[in-house]
Amino acid sequence: MNPAILVLAQIGTVGAVGLAIAGLIVGALGGVVVDRMLSTKALRAAKDEAREILVRAEADAKNTAEKLRLEAEKEALQRKEKLDSEIEASRSDLRKTERRLDKREDLLQEKEASLSKRDASLSKRDETLQKRDKKIESREKDVEEIIRKQTQKLG
């Protein structure tokens, strides 16, 4: 026979019930202790996991913030480069316009000088023609006087 059965037979029914109750109490206490240990371990594991999640979330947030900052800087730099390019194009157009205007001004000054020379030449010519007209008028008067005198002599 089994030694455990022999011990139960010697203790009796009341002792066996007491022993069973004691076993149940020890088992229940052991279960509670094991449950607490497992609960504490699970709680610790959950807290550790929560900390890890929080650390990862913070790292992700920092990475996202840095990524957004870099993208904003890149976009700002691209805008600046575009504006610089547009400004340079405008300046180039302005320089071209200034050169054209300078050429026009030079041409106008040359035309003005040419017109001034021409005007002076025409004025001189007009003076010469007026002197000539006066000589011609004087000669015509002289010729008319000679014709009148000759007509009087003949007539």
Mean residue pLDDT across the chain: 85
- Structurally, the chain folds into a number of domains equal to 1
CA-angle at 92, arms to 86 and 94, nearest 5°: 105
Residue 4 scores a pLDDT above 70: no
Supply the range of the domain harboring residue 37: 3-154
What is the maximum span of the chain, computed from C-alpha positions, in angstroms?
Answer: 207
Q: Where are the beta strands (DSSP E) in the chain?
A: none
- Write out the H or E segment, with its range, that includes residue 1: none
Residue 104's pLDDT is 95
Crossing angle for the helix pair 13-154 and 3-11, nearest 10 degrees?
A: 120
Q: Confidence band (pLDDT; 50, 70, 90) for 15?
A: low
